[in-house]
């Protein structure tokens, strides 16, 4: 049977009370949401499929029609006219049900990178979004990760995975070099860089199999997937003593043995809810796998 989850039907995405909406309109939305729940409980499978196919047909018609209306308004009155119309709470609710109007490319990318920035900061780096044009995303990596090829490659991969997952128009990631530093420094300042710890040999990691590992009293999970090696702090939820190494792998998804939580093995992000596993940078050199555990000082510049 096709997946007819409620996320595909926009009616119930606004069932949470919104103070700006008139009470009668809010009541109508709640009534529609309740009706949809009852439709999901239809016992006859064929009837249930026909009902949801009908609803999806209405969804497509409304989505396409509203999209064309917005395009015409923008062409006649400019984007400001669209934004002004969308300020009406009922109109805005209707547009949000169909994810309209779509945000510009930069706004979409900024939303995607919101979950990536903390990851960079945790490893002493900084990610700057320089621009987005026709699916081409330009970023710059600076901080303690700057100049480290292994870290740069790992972090660039994290950004690419996030963009492919959350930015439909993504075409290419361009990582630009930081501008040269012309700073006269007084005194001695220690440099910081990722602290790489050996975690075994690449040939010891069976492709597609979870490998529990312990480095310096840190419980980790390693997996070799599609030619890449990924490392996470073990535990579900993150930080918990409930280990994930007994979970099962379904393609690129890790399924928690305790709660059934589903994590994307490439990004650590939960697929069925909010949350994310703690991702650690990985470098492979001459067949040796290394994992970055924090940063270290390497002396004055």
Q: Output the DSSP codes for 138-189.
A: EEEEEETTTT-HHHHHHHHHHHHHHHHHH-TT--EEEEEPPPPP--PPPS--
Other C-beta atoms within 10 Å of 111: how many? 12
Last residue within a domain, chosen from 176, 205, 230: 176
pLDDT tens, position by position, 4-56? 344 444 444 444 445 566 777 777 877 887 888 788 888 888 898 888 888 88
Residues spanned by the domain of 73:
6-97
Reduced DSSP (H G I as helix, E B as strand, rest coil) percent helix, strand, coil of the chain, to 5? 35, 30, 35
Q: Confirm whether 53 is domain-assigned.
A: yes
Number of structural domains the chain divides into: 3
Q: Confirm whether 185 is domain-assigned.
A: no
pLDDT tens, position by position, 211-261? 888 888 788 899 998 888 998 888 887 667 788 888 899 998 999 888 888
Q: Confirm whether 76 is domain-assigned.
A: yes
Return the CATH number at 278.
Answer: 2.102.10.10
Global pTM reads 0.44
Residues 238 and 283 in one domain: yes
Order of strands, sheet of 172-176, starting from the edge strand that comes earlier in the sequence: 125-133, 136-143, 172-176
Residues 41 and 89 in one domain: yes
* Torsion sign over Cα 141, 142, 148, 151: negative
Return the CATH number at 143.
Answer: 3.30.300.130
Q: Confirm whether 1 is domain-assigned.
A: no
Residues 221 and 269 in one domain: yes
Q: Confirm whether 183 is domain-assigned.
A: no
Tokens in use for 176?
């630009």
Range among 58-67, 197-206, 265-274 with highest mean pLDDT value? 197-206
Q: Confirm whether 143 is domain-assigned.
A: yes
Residues 20 and 114 in one domain: no
DSSP state of 102: P
pLDDT tens, position by position, 168-191? 778 888 888 766 655 555 555 556
Residues 217 and 144 in one domain: no
**Percent of the chain topping pLDDT 90:** 6
Residues 10 and 72 in one domain: yes
Last residue within a domain, chosen from 50, 73, 97: 97
């Amino acid at each position: 049977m096709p997946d007819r989850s409620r996320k595909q039907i926009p009616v119930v995405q606004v069932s949470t009370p919104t103070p700006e909406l008139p009470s009668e309109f809010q009541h109508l939305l709640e009534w529609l949401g309740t009706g949809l729940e009852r439709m999901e409980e239809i016992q006859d499978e064929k009837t249930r499929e026909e009902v949801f196919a009908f609803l999806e047909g209405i969804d497509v018609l409304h989505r396409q029609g509203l999209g064309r209306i917005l395009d015409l308004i923008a062409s006649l009155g400019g984007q400001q006219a669209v934004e002004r119309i969308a300020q009406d709470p009922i109109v805005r609710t209707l547009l949000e049900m169909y994810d309209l109007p779509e945000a510009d490319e930069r706004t979409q990318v900024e939303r995607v990178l919101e979950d990536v920035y903390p990851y960079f900061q945790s490893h002493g780096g900084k990610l700057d979004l320089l621009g987005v044009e026709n699916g081409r995303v330009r970023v710059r990596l600076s901080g303690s990760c700057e100049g480290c090829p292994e870290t740069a490659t790992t972090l660039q991969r994290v950004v690419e995975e996030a963009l492919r997952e959350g930015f439909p128009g993504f075409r290419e990631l361009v990582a630009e070099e930081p501008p040269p530093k012309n700073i006269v420094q007084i005194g001695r300042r220690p440099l910081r860089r990722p602290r790489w710890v050996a975690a075994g040999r690449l040939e010891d990691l069976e492709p597609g199999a979870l490998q529990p590992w312990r480095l310096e009293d840190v419980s980790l999970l390693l997996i070799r997937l599609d030619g890449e090696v990924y490392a996470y702090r073990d535990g579900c939820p993150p930080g918990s003593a409930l280990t994930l190494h007994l979970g099962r792998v379904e393609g690129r998804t890790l399924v928690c043995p305790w709660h059934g939580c589903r994590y994307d093995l490439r990004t650590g992000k939960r697929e069925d809810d909010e949350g994310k596993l703690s991702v650690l940078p990985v470098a492979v050199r001459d067949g040796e796998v290394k994992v970055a555990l924090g940063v270290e000082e390497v002396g004055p510049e």
